[in-house]
Amino acid sequence: MPSVTGPVDPFDYIVFGATGDLTMRKLLPALYYRFRDGQMPADARIIGAARSKLSDDDFRGRAEKALARFVKAPDLDEAVARRFIGQIYFASVNGAEADSTWENLLRLFDDGVASRTRVFYLATSPSLYGDICRNLSEHGLVTPQSRVVLEKPIGTDLGSAERINDEVGQVFEEKKIFRIDHYLGKETVQNLIALRFANPVFERLWSSDAIDHVQITAAETVGVEGRGDYYDSSGALRDMIQNHLLQVMCLVAMEPPGALDADSLRNEKLKVLRALKPIAPDDVAHVAIRGQYGRGKIGDTVVPGYMEELGEGRQSRTETFVALKAEIHNWRWGKVPFYLRSGKRLPNKSSEIVVQFKETPWSIFKSKLQSNRLIIRLQPQEGIQLSIMSKDPGPDGMVLRPANIDISFEKAFSTRYPDAYERLLMDTVRGDPVLFMRRDEVEAAWTWVEPVLDGWARHPDTLHYYSAGSWGPDAARTLLSRDGRCWHEDVE
C-alpha cells in the first residue's frame, strides 16, 4: 500500500451532493490541500454531481468561492488553486431517478478512464444512497476499481440503517463500502490509539481499578448554520452521539487490538458497542438528558434561540444538546460510567475526553486532595493535560495544590494539523478502510441509541431548555451530581 501522504495513482472522484454545504465547506478544501501537497496527480478528476443545472464553468466558479472562503488565506496559492479547479467537472444528475440525466455523467467516462480508481462519494441525504447505488450499477458505472463513501448518519434508526446497508450492499461488497465518520480522521482521535497502546504507563491504569469515570464532550458555539432542515429532522443524538461520540468512546474503551488493520480495530470497537448496557424505557428520562437552546449570549454576542434560527415561526422539539450516561458491561469497565455530551451554542468550541481517576485511598495531608485527571484535548488546542497534586513551594509546610503536566501538540510538533477529511478522502482513494465504520458497528450503535429516541418520543416533557452560551440544561448537571460527580468545568 502506498504511503499515507505520498502521491496516489490517477483517480476519478465523483461527489453526489456537490452543490451542498459539506462539499463546499469540507470536501473541496480538503482535496485542494491534497493537490497542493502533491498527493493528487495532475490527471485526477473531481466530478461534482447534483440535480442543479450547472456547466463545468458554473461549478468551477462555486468551487473557487468555496476555496476562498474555507481555505486559510496563507494556504491559498492562486496558481495552485487555478490548476486544481481545472481538474473539476460537473454533471447534472438526478441520483434518485433512472432518467436521461445520467447521460450527463456517462459522457465523462470513456474507455480511457475505465481502469482508474473510481470513488463515488455520497454527500446527499442518506435516504438517496440506495437509489444512487442502484442507478450507478444499472448505468454500468461500477467497475472493479470502484468504491463508495457513505456520509453519516446512515439512516435515522436501526431499521432505516439496515435498509440502506442492504441496498448499498446489493451493488458494492462490504470491503468497497467506506462509511465515513470524520472524527476518526482527526489526528488527536487517532492519537488515542498511540496514547493507549504505545504508553504502558497509561494502559496499566486503564480500568475500573484506577478510573472513577470518563467524560467525553463535543461542544460547539455555532447554531444550525443554514442546515436547519436537515438538523431539525435529526437532532444532536443522531447527528453527533450515534456516530462521533460513540466511536471516540470505543477507542477509549476497547481492548488492545491484535494488529492495526481495519478488522482487528473494528472487531474491538464492536465488542465495546455490544457490551453497552441497554437503556431501559423507564430510565431514559434520567440517564439521557436532552435540551434545546433559547436566545442567549456567547461571549459578548447575543444569539437567537434555535426556533428563531429555524425561522418563519417554526416550532420544534428537536434536541440541540444531549448528555447521557453509558455503561459498558465488561470486566474492564464495570462500575465506570462514560458520560457523553454534545451540544450547540455552548460557551466554547471544544472536544475533549476527561479521564477522572479515583481518590487516594487515605490522605495524610491537611489540604483537600483533588483526584488525578487526564484531559485529552481533541480540538482546539490539541494536547494532553494530567492534573496532579503538588506541594506549594514556600515556607508554609506541606500545603498542596493541583498543578498540571501539560503537553501542547502544537508546541511539541511543528507539522500542520490536516483537516480530518484530507486524510479520509485519500484513504478512500488508496482503499484503506481502517478509519471507516463497518456495517455491524453502525447497526450496533443504532441498537443502543434507539430506545433513547423511542423514550423521548413517548415522553415529550423530557425536553429541557437552556440559554445559548450556557453548558446546557440543569438536568445535565443533575445527571452527574446524582452519582456524586460533576462535569469537568464545574470542578473548583
Ligand X SMILES: O=C1O[C@H](COP(=O)(O)O)[C@@H](O)[C@H](O)[C@H]1O
Residue ranges of the binding site for substrate = 182, 186, 220, 239, 344, 349
Answer yes or no whether residue 274 interacts with ligand NDP by CB under 6 A: no
Answer yes or no whether residue 470 interacts with ligand NDP by CB under 6 A: no
Answer yes or no whether residue 450 interacts with ligand X by CB under 6 A: no
Whole-angstrom distance, CA of residue 44 vs CA of residue 39: 10
Out of ligand NDP, ligand X, none, what residue 18 binds, judged by CB under 5 to 8 A for its kind, is ligand NDP
Answer yes or no whether residue 220 interacts with ligand X by CB under 6 A: yes
What cell was used for 331? 470486566
What cell was used for 383? 494536547
Stretch of 90-98, 273-281, 418-426, 459-467 lying at the interface with ligand NDP (CB under 6 A): 90-98
Answer yes or no whether residue 193 interacts with ligand NDP by CB under 6 A: no
Out of ligand NDP, ligand X, none, what residue 52 binds, judged by CB under 5 to 8 A for its kind, is ligand NDP
Stretch of 49-57, 245-253, 335-343, 437-445 lying at the interface with ligand NDP (CB under 6 A): 49-57
> Shortest distance, CB of residue 58 to ligand NDP, whole angstroms?
11
Whole-angstrom distance, CA of residue 305 vs CA of residue 199: 45
> Shortest distance, CB of residue 295 to ligand X, whole angstroms?
20
SS3 at position 472: coil
Answer yes or no whether residue 152 interacts with ligand NDP by CB under 6 A: yes
Whole-angstrom distance, CA of residue 459 vs CA of residue 283: 12
> Shortest distance, CB of residue 268 to ligand NDP, whole angstroms?
25
Catalytic residue among 139, 213, 244, 329: 244
Residue 246, classified by CB atoms within 10 Å of its CB into exposed (0-12), middle (13-18) or buried (19+), is buried
Answer yes or no whether residue 320 interacts with ligand NDP by CB under 6 A: no
User: Binding residues for ligand X, how many (CB under 6 A)?
Assistant: 4
> Shortest distance, CB of residue 137 to ligand X, whole angstroms?
28
Answer yes or no whether residue 239 interacts with ligand X by CB under 6 A: yes
DSSP state of 335: T
Stretch of 47-55, 69-77, 162-170, 355-363 lying at the interface with ligand NDP (CB under 6 A): 47-55
Question: Of the candidates 52, 137, 143, 221, which one interacts with ligand NDP according to CB under 6 A?
Answer: 52
Answer yes or no whether residue 422 interacts with ligand X by CB under 6 A: no
Whole-angstrom distance, CA of residue 447 vs CA of residue 41: 42
Question: Of the candidates 30, 33, 95, 147, which one interacts with ligand NDP according to CB under 6 A?
Answer: 95
- Residue 25, strand partner residues: none
Within 22-41, which residues bind ligand NDP (CB under 6 A)? 22
Whole-angstrom distance, CA of residue 433 vs CA of residue 340: 26
Q: Which stretches does DSSP call E strand in 115-176?
A: 117-122, 146-150
With respect to ligand NDP, which residue has the nearer C-beta, 136 or 288?
136
Answer yes or no whether residue 351 interacts with ligand X by CB under 6 A: yes
Residue 36, classified by CB atoms within 10 Å of its CB into exposed (0-12), middle (13-18) or buried (19+), is middle
SS3 at position 351: strand
Question: Of the candidates 108, 113, 128, 491, which one interacts with ligand NDP according to CB under 6 A?
Answer: 128
Out of ligand X, ligand NDP, none, what residue 20 binds, judged by CB under 5 to 8 A for its kind, is ligand NDP
Residue 60, classified by CB atoms within 10 Å of its CB into exposed (0-12), middle (13-18) or buried (19+), is buried
> Shortest distance, CB of residue 220 to ligand X, whole angstroms?
6
Out of ligand NDP, ligand X, none, what residue 220 binds, judged by CB under 5 to 8 A for its kind, is ligand X
Whole-angstrom distance, CA of residue 18 vs CA of residue 132: 14
Within 393-422, which residues bind ligand NDP (CB under 6 A)? none
Question: H/E element holding 144?
Answer: none
Whole-angstrom distance, CA of residue 65 vs CA of residue 56: 14
What cell was used for 362? 487515605
What is the DSSP secondary-structure string of 371-415?
PPEEEEEEESS-EEEEEEEEEPSSTTSS-EEEEEEEEEHHHH--S
Q: Is 244 a catalytic residue?
A: yes
**Residues annotated as binding site for NADP(+)?**
51, 152
Whole-angstrom distance, CA of residue 445 vs CA of residue 241: 9
What cell was used for 476? 445535565
* Largest interatomic CA distance in the chain: 85
Residues that bind ligand X (CB under 6 A): 218, 220, 239, 351
Residues that bind ligand NDP (CB under 6 A): 16-22, 50-52, 93-96, 123-126, 128, 151-152, 227, 230
Q: Which are the catalytic amino acids?
A: 244
